[in-house]
Structure 1
Amino acid sequence: MEYRRLGNTTLELSAITYGAFAIGGNMWGGNEKKDSIAAIHASLDYGVSSIDTAPFYGFGLSEEMIGEAIKGKDRSKIQLLTKFGLVWDGSNRGKGAFFFDAEENGQAVPVFKYTSKANIMKEVEESLKRLGTDYIDLLQVHWPDSTTPISETMEALELLIEQGKIRAAGVCNYDIPQLKEASETIQLASNQVSYSMLNRGIEHDLVPYAFDTKTGIIVYSPMERGLLTGKYFNESKLKENDHRNDYFSQFNLEKVKNLLASLEPIAQNKKVSVAQLVLRWTTLQPAITVVLAGSRNAEQSVANAKAMDINISTEELIFINNQLSKL
């Protein structure tokens, strides 16, 4: 495994970081607890030292399972990344900007973006309790909130650093104007954004900005929620309540299928899966600090970690990029 410094901080994160959205269950069709715990343990055993989660994932369940999985382990060797700012219950229900309706037990649950100082302090205490720790390595704004001044949110993050409850502060899904406004109050460690072979928009603006400001980039959805594994094209059925049924419809699936077929000979030659090849390609892109990779069981965790062992030559990178230009 390779470990990389995040922005201007002293945090060293594993290049492949465990993404804990799917084990939360909501929007992903559910997952067995024992498999989720085993997935986390396998990741740690194979050098994935960093875990990214959020209160929204499973409405607290993801954080709780992570807390259970790391109990008794050397906390100093594990980096916990979590978020705040998506509100669905409690005293802050309905505050902020409406985001979307999630689902819990067959019922619609309205979710709001809300990043006020009071809400941040409340959410951090709840996350610390669920994770079973007294500090968070990286706390991130989950989504921008149009109802709260960015300066108020950043001042709260500064206070949490001073209190020792978080080691560093980051954001997710911020554009450049929002990043610049935030930088007037605090030096952010990172911006977590969506990026994949099928979604390379950040290369035009956020990547140059990250280089200029020494801001880390944390990538989510590198596999486009499983589409780039190829399983979707092999009659792998999604559960009816799986959000990916709608999500995949945005892509030209025939072109995606052809892309994966073109990568298959390289993967076979290296005795790896196409999914591992895609993951490794993502870690090699400019300004990308770490890449989030989710898994539902131990086998998937091991495969994700071993992707870092793959050597992709300059010629192979050129070939892959030529194939991507056909999308």
Structure 2
Amino acid sequence: MEYRTLGTSDLKLSAITFGAWAAGGWMWGGTEQNDAAKAIQSAFDYGVTSIDTAPIYGMGHSEKIVGEAIKELPRDQVQLVTKYGLRWDATDGEFYVNSKDNNGKDISIYKNASKKSIIKECEDSLKRLGTDYIDLYQIHWPDVTTEIQESMEAVAQLIKDGKVRYAGVCNYSVDQLKEANTYVDVISNQVPYSMVNRGIETDLVPYTLEHNMSILAYSPLQRGLLTGKMKAGHVFAEGDHRKGLAFFKDENIKQTAEFLDKLKPLAEAKNASLSQLVLRWTIEQPGITIALAGARNAEQSISNAKSIDVKLTTDELQFINKALEKVKLDV
């Protein structure tokens, strides 16, 4: 495994970090707790020491699974990355979305990054994770009802109290990142990025490179679209959030599959899967420090971890990028 330092901190994460959204079941059609825990432990055996989760993933379920999974692991060798700012158990803040929990119960989710809410969420996360500190604590989504100053100063206090090591953000624009960084040292921004979703290259990547901040790329496999396993007409399970998303329109699936077909000879030459090739490409891109890769069982997590063994030359990266230029998804 490769380990990369976030920003100017001394926090190192595994270049492939375990993404625990799907492990929580919410919006992914349920989960099997034992399989998810084994996935985390198996990833650790292959050098994936960093785990990204959030309270909203299964309404605390993902964090509990992570907490159970790391009980047998040395805490000082595990980096716990979690979030705050999405509440399903209170109605203060900005309404975000109506959803259902893992039991099918209707819930309403609110963005709330007030100081009071952050302090409570941190305590709840520490209990679920079974730890006394969080390595990287990130706002999940911008909250228009709370000043950025209030949110960041709350995290700064948690850092001072020893409950959080470093502050990060998710889904922040350059302007929001600039403001946040005036109140606390923000070392990273977690944003969506994949071969077919590269909008951040215009402004966010140049800014973070200039200011020595890190980008944690989520959905690098575009939620399964870039695995090579999806065909037009794919039927999603009940409760799977991907149903109806623009990326998964038949024409987009078809076009992506045609692009991936061009990569198959390269993947085969590397003795790698398409997913492994895609993950390796992702962490080779300028400004991308970490790729978050989700898994719901040990087989998937080991496969993700082994993507680090794929080596791509400059010519091979150029070949991939040239093939990508012809992909024009309707999203």
What band does the TM-score fall into relative to the shorter chain? over 0.9
**Correspondence 1:4 to 2:4:** yes
Query: Under a length normalisation based on structure 1, what TM-score does the superposition of the two structures give?
Result: 0.97
Deviations 1:184-210 (A, max 9, x none): 211201000000000001111000100
Matches within 5 A, 1:86-165: 86-89=86-89, 93-104=90-101, 105-165=103-163
Q: What is the aligned residue count?
A: 324
Match of 1:69 in 2: 69
- Alpha-carbon RMSD across the aligned residues, in angstroms, is 1.2
**Secondary structure of the structure 2 residue equivalent to 1:300:** helix
Match of 1:182 in 2: 180
Matches within 5 A, 1:225-240: 225-233=223-231, 237-240=235-238
Structure 2 distance, partners of 1:2, 1:187, is 24
Structure 2 distance, partners of 1:312, 1:126, is 42
Structure 2 distance, partners of 1:157, 1:194, is 23
Give the AA of the match of 1:249. F
Structure 1 distance, partners of 2:182, 2:41, is 40
Match of 1:202 in 2: 200
Give the AA of the match of 2:153. E
Structure 2 distance, partners of 1:234, 1:273, is 20
Structure 1 residue 136, shift from structure 2 partner: 0.2
Q: Which runs of 5+ in 2 are unaligned?
A: none
**Secondary structure of the structure 1 residue equivalent to 2:99:** strand
Give the AA of the match of 1:98. F
Structure 1 distance, partners of 2:283, 2:179, is 28
| Contact 2:225-2:253 at 8 Å conserved across structures | no
Deviations 1:64-83 (A, max 9, x none): 01111111321000000000
Give the AA of the match of 1:180. K
Structure 1 residue 244, shift from structure 2 partner: 1.0
**Secondary structure of the structure 2 residue equivalent to 1:252:** helix
Deviations 1:285-317 (A, max 9, x none): 011111100001101111101100001111111
Structure 1 distance, partners of 2:142, 2:296, is 28
Structure 2 distance, partners of 1:246, 1:120, is 32
Structure 1 residue 249, shift from structure 2 partner: 3.4
| Contact 2:230-2:253 at 8 Å conserved across structures | no
Structure 2 distance, partners of 1:114, 1:190, is 20
Structure 2 distance, partners of 1:47, 1:23, is 19
**Secondary structure of the structure 2 residue equivalent to 1:83:** strand
Structure 1 residue 253, shift from structure 2 partner: 2.2
Structure 2 distance, partners of 1:195, 1:121, is 30
**Secondary structure of the structure 2 residue equivalent to 1:18:** strand
Structure 1 distance, partners of 2:12, 2:165, is 12
Give the AA of the match of 1:116. S
Deviations 1:77-130 (A, max 9, x none): 0000000000111xxx11111111121233321101000000000000000000
Structure 1 distance, partners of 2:232, 2:114, is 45
Give the AA of the match of 2:83. K
Match of 2:280 in 1: 280
Q: Which runs of 5+ in 1 are unaligned?
A: none
Deviations 1:47-68 (A, max 9, x none): 0000000000010000001111
Structure 1 distance, partners of 2:314, 2:203, is 24
Structure 2 distance, partners of 1:249, 1:292, is 20
Deviations 1:149-187 (A, max 9, x none): 000001001101100000000000000111111122112
Structure 2 distance, partners of 1:7, 1:293, is 21
Matches within 5 A, 1:208-247: 208-233=206-231, 237-247=235-245
Structure 1 residue 237, shift from structure 2 partner: 4.4
Give the AA of the match of 1:295. A
